[in-house]
Amino acid sequence: MFIKKGERIPLQSHQGKDIHWIVISGFGNFKVEEIERFVGAGAHVSVLKKQKYSMFASKDLEMVEVQMGVCEEKDVRRYDTDND
């Protein structure tokens, strides 16, 4: 997965899958539920089913993404981006 500097993934969740990211390069902010972390190369971030998350790249972010469970686009629930 790659997110360009200044771009973000808005607040969302998944009903049927867990996701795990390993940051290969870059920097960014991950918010999982109410916990926000600044991460860089080597960091691991996990999101469980039904947890809300968002991310922002302060420097191009390159990550390995592992999905476990129901891996379908219809599984994504997106929230109002003004409130995340």
The identity of residue 59, as a single letter, is K
pLDDT, tens only, 29-64:
999 999 999 999 999 999 999 999 999 999 999 999
DSSP state of 16: S
pLDDT, tens only, 1-32:
999 999 999 999 999 999 999 999 999 999 99
Collapsing DSSP to helix, strand or coil, 75 comes out as: helix
- pTM for the model: 0.87
Lookup result for tokens 């971030």: 45
Q: What does CATH list as the number for 2-70?
A: 2.60.120.10
**pLDDT (0 to 100) of residue 81:** 61
